[in-house]
Amino acid sequence: MTTTLPDETLLRNDTACLRAAARFVREHDSAALLPLLLPGLGGPDLRALAEHCRFAHAGLLLFPPDADGLRAQLADCGLAVDTPSHPSVVVRERLARRHRRDPAELDVRILRPQVDGRDGERRAVEVFALTVPPHSDLEPIAAYERTRRHEAHLAFEVEHPEPLALRGLCAILGRHGARPDGGGYNPHEDGTVLYFTLPADAACDYRRLELYARGDHRDTLAAHLDHPDRHHRPRHDARQPAETLLHLFTGAWTTQALATFARLGLPDVMDTRTAQRTEGLARPTGTHPRSLATLLRYLAMLGAVVEEQEGFRLTDLGALLRADTPGSMRPLALMYGGPFYRSFGALDHAVRTGQPAFDHLFGENHFDHFARDPELAALFDRSMAASSRMFQPLPAHPVITAAAQAPEAATVVDIAGGNGELLGRILTAHPRLRGVLLERPHAVQAARRLLDATGCGPRCDYRAGDFADVPPGSDVYILSRVLHDWDDDRCREILRHCVRAMPDHADLLVVERLLPVDGSPSLATAWDLHMLCNVGGRERRADHYARLLADAGLQLVGRRPLPLDAHVLHARKAGAPDPAARRS
C-alpha cells in the first residue's frame, strides 16, 4: 500500500499544474502578456508581435499512469475529457535526446483541450502526456521532468505565416532577449514549432516560448536550429569578432549569389518538393555543372535551396526569386545585384561629398538614367512593386474606407504611383472608388496595362506629368515611397503642390519607412544608406516628417505601422475639420 501513496501525490501535483495552466490561459491575452515575457518590449516591435501572433495556449508535460488517469485529471480541471490526441513528435524526440532513450519507448501524446479567455477568444491548454505505469523504468524520467519543467511553455500562433514574416518575428524575439531553443515539424498535424528560452528577468513562471506556424516551414526551422545564440558560445571568445567581420565582408558575395541565381533562371527550373541533381539543372540554364554546384552550396547556406542526398531542392525563400510567382522579388535581386550594386562600389564618394554615388558613376541621376533605358525603367518599376506586401493593410486604412463609404463616389490620387500596384489594390478592395495615377509617360503605360488586367481600368484616369501636375479636387492623395527620394527642400515643394490641389476635406497618406528614435535595428536604417548612395534622398524620423508637413501647411494627425518596417502617415490641411466628421 505504501508504494501507491507517492504516485497519487505526484498525480495530484500534476493536476494542480494543469489547473494553474488553464487559469493562466483564461486570464491573459497577447498584448498584455508579451511585455511580461520580454521586459522592455514596446513600440513597433510590440505592435508587430501582437498583430502577427495570437496567444494560443500554455503547454505542460504530464505523466498519467494510463488513459483513464489522464481523463480523470482533465475532468478535475474542468477540461473536456474527450479531447482527441495524436503522437507528439517534437517532445518525444526532445525527451529521447535528453534521457538517451529510444524514441520508440516513449509514448507521448499531445492533446489541446479548449479554454475560453476573458476576451472570449478560444485558446487551449496543450497537454503532452507521457504514460508512466506504476513501477515503470520511466519513473526517473517523470521525476526529473517534474522538477525541471523543461516542456512548460507559452505558445503564440503566427497568423498567415510567410517565410520572411516568420524570420522577422524570430528576429524581434532575439532582439529582446529570447534565445533559440530547438523546435521541429510535426507531420501528424502539418505544423512547425520554434522554441525560445525567455530572458531571465521575464515576469512569469514560464521560461520557454513557442512560435507555432501551420504548415511545413522546415527551411525557417533549419535556420532557427542553426542560430549562433543556440550554441551559447562565450561572448568573449577571441575568435568571435574576426569571424563576425569575415561574415560581414562577404555580404557582397551574398548579393551577387542571389542575383546570379535569379539571372540564370534557376528558381524557375527548380522544385520545392523534389531535389534535382546539378547535371539536370545545368542543361536548361546553360551553366557549368561543377561551378553550379559551388553556387548552390553557397545558396544552401543562405536558405535559398536545401542540399539533399538526391541533389538540390528549392526552398520557399528561394521560390520568391521565380519570375512568375506572386509577389516575386526577382526584380529586386536584379536591381540590387545590377546598377545599385555598381554604385555601392563608390559609396565612399557619397560619404565624402554628400552627393549620390550613382550620379558620380553614371553621370546622371538614377531617374533620368532609367528613363533613357526602357528595359531598365521597367525593371525598376517591377522592383518597386516587389515590395508591395507593405501595401497589404492600406486598403483597410480608415481614410480609405471612409472615402469608399461616402455618399458620392470618391477619388484617390496616387502621386508617382509607379506601375499602379498600390492603386490597383485599393480600387479592387473598394469598387465604389475611382482612381487617378500620376506618373512619367512610360510608367503610365505599364500602370494602364496592370490596372486593365485587374478590371479596375474603367475606374481609373491616367496623368503623365510631374509633381507640379497633381490633379485638384480629389478626396484622398497618396505619396508612397516618394519623399525619401528627395532632400528637405524638394519634399516641401512636393507637399506644397499637394496642398494646392487638395480641397479642405481631403486627406493625404504618406507611406515611408521611419528611422527608429532609439537606434534599434530597422530596415529604415539600411535604406537610409541606400538613399544616400543612389538617390540623394534620405529616410527620416516621424517628427522630421511632421516638420516638413507643417512647413507645407499640413498637419500630421496619425500614423500606423505597415509590413516591412514601413508606416503610413495621415495628414490633412492645417485647420481643416476632423476627418471623422467630413462628408457628414
Catalytic residues: 484
Question: For cell 495570437, what's the residue?
Answer: 54
How far apart are alpha carbons 477 and 253 in whole angstroms? 41
Measured N-to-C along each axis, helices 163-175 and 218-225 cross at an angle, to the nearest 10 degrees, of 30
SS3 at position 220: helix
Nearest to 571 by CA among 523, 511, 485, 519: 511
Cβ atoms < 10 Å from Cβ of 490: 14
How far apart are alpha carbons 219 and 350 in whole angstroms? 38
| Pair 169, 158: CB distance under 8 Å | yes
| Helical residues (DSSP H) of 356-420, grouped into ranges | 357-362, 366-371, 374-385, 398-404
| Residues near 6 by beta carbon (within 8 Å), at least 6 away in sequence | none
| Pair 77, 15: CB distance under 8 Å | yes
Nearest to 332 by CA among 272, 388, 271, 383: 383
Characterise 382 by phi-psi region: left (phi > 0), alpha (psi -120 to 50), beta (else): alpha
How far apart are alpha carbons 265 and 323 in whole angstroms? 8
| Pair 174, 229: CB distance under 8 Å | yes
Bridge partners (DSSP) of residue 476 are 412, 507
Cell of 370: 532609367
Beta sheet of 554-562, edge-to-edge order: 460-464, 434-439, 411-415, 476-480, 507-513, 566-573, 554-562
Question: For cell 517565410, what's the residue?
Answer: 163
How far apart are alpha carbons 470 and 438 in whole angstroms? 7
Q: Are strands 305-308 and 554-562 parallel, antiparallel or unpaired?
A: unpaired
- HSE-CB of 318 using CA atoms within 13 angstroms: 30
Amino acid at 131: T
- Radius of gyration, alpha carbons of the chain: 28
Cell of 48: 508587430
